[in-house]
Amino acid sequence: MHAVYYDTETTGTNAKNDYIIEIAAYDPVHDRTFDKLVKPPVPIPPEATAIHKITDEMVAEAFDFAAIGQEFIEFCGEGAVLVAHNNDNFDLPFLQNEFARHELTMPPWKFVDTLKWARRYRPDLPRHALQFLRDHYGFPANNAHRALDDVIVLHQVFQAMTGDLTIEQIYTLLNVPRRMRFMPFGKYRGKPLAEVPKDYVKWMAENGAFDRAENQELKEIFKEMKLLSSS
């Protein structure tokens, strides 16, 4: 597996109704970049242009996503792990919808969401937006909200966050289910599990709460904490 950092700019924020108008990527293994404007089937709304500065005139001579998508596949290769900030809620849904619209087959890529990583492994930070992280790690300001500039910054920031971890290790860590730390329901909902009284755990057991399939992880954790009998 090798990492390819990518970013998209779009006509709006709704992946079902809006369109990709720029897609960029950086392959640090081969030190090469990809940056293409995409001609959408609709005019670019002024409010979108105000953010990324891409106008209808700029994309007038661009190819549509059918062509650009194929070039993107060739750039990334089959075994890539695509890395983007807010990937799961933004870039990936846009990518999936564009591939579907143009009847392109998406390769068996894996994906890493660096926003999810930042929230999970840097909970000490008050914010996790890309530009906040750029400033926090001391990288110079860039042309924010243009795809290639954001991709380069993302690579710098994520390298700083992950150190010498490989992309395989990063992918694995993000996809291992997180252990439950807080009470998910009931009288002590939101309380750290270590602060739930033993009498309450006993009451739940007596009332069948741990017979439910969805509460098996909670049951095992309370057993490990010696708040619940192993029998």
Distance from C-alpha of 154 to C-alpha of 97, rounded to nearest angstrom: 23
| Cβ 26 vs Cβ 3: under 8 Å | no
| Cβ 91 vs Cβ 115: under 8 Å | no
Amino acid occupying residue 51: I
Q: Which of 2, 102, 136, 145 is catalytic?
A: 145
Phi/psi of residue 192, nearest 5 degrees: -55, 140
Name residues whose C-beta falls within 8 Å of residue 5's C-beta, 6 or more positions apart in sequence. 25, 26, 28, 82, 83, 84, 151, 154, 155, 158
Distance from C-alpha of 167 to C-alpha of 211, rounded to nearest angstrom: 39
* Residue 102 annotated to the active site: no
| Cβ 102 vs Cβ 66: under 8 Å | yes
Question: What residues act catalytically?
Answer: 145
